[in-house]
Copies of this chain bind each other. A is one copy, B any other.
Amino acid sequence: MAFVVKSLSMNSAPSNLTNNGAPASGAVSPTAAPSSAVPSPAAPSPTFSPLYQQIKALITQSLQSGEWKPGELIPSEVELAGRFKVSQGTVRKAIDELAAENLVVRKQGKGTFVSTHHEARAHFRFLRLMPDEGVPHYPESRFVEVKRLRAPADVARLLELKSGDAVVYIKRVQLFDGVPTIVEELWLPGLVFKGLTAERLNEYKGPMYGLFESEFGTRMIRAAEKIRAVCADEGVAELLRVDPGTPLLMSERVSFTYGDKPVELRRGLYSTERHHYQNDLN
Contact = CB atoms under 8 A, between A and B. Distances in A.
Interface of A: 30-31, 100-102, 125-126, 128, 222-231, 245, 247-249, 253, 270, 272, 276-282
Contacts of A253: 281
Given A231-B247, A247-B230, A225 B279 contact: yes
B249 A279 contact: no
Contacts of A247: 229-231, 247-248
A111 B103 CA distance: 31
Nearest to A127: B281
A129 to B, nearest CB: 10
Given A102-B282, A126-B281, A281-B126, A229 B229 contact: yes
Contacts of A245: 245
B224 A249 contact: no
Given A30-B30, A247-B247, A248-B247, A226 B276 contact: yes
Contacts of A224: 278-281
A93 to B, nearest CB: 11
B222 A278 contact: no
